[in-house]
Amino acid sequence: MPQEYTLQQPLQQAIRPKKDLRDFSREAAEITEDPAGKKVLKRLSDEVEENIGKFFKHYRQSDLGSLGEFLTQPPHPESVMLLELRKALDKNVHARKARELAMREEKSIEESFRLAAKRVVDPLARNVFMEVADDAARHYAVIESEYEFQVTRVHESDVATFVRE
CA 67 to the chain's CA centroid: 17
Q: Tell whether pTM > 0.75.
A: no
Give the span between the Cα atoms of 64 and 79, in whole angstroms.
17
Give the containing element (helix H, strand E) for 146. helix 123-152
Residues with Cβ within 8 Å of 29's Cβ and at least 6 positions away in sequence, in order, are 37, 38, 41, 42, 45
Task: Determine the pLDDT at residue 68.
Answer: 93
Q: What element of type H or E holds 45?
A: helix 35-56
Which CATH architecture describes the domain 8-164?
A: Up-down Bundle (1.20)
- Give the pLDDT score at 164: 47
pLDDT digits (tens, 9 = 90+) for 29-73: 887 777 877 887 888 889 889 888 888 888 888 899 999 999 999
The Cα angle at residue 61 between residues 64 and 105, in degrees rounded to 5: 50
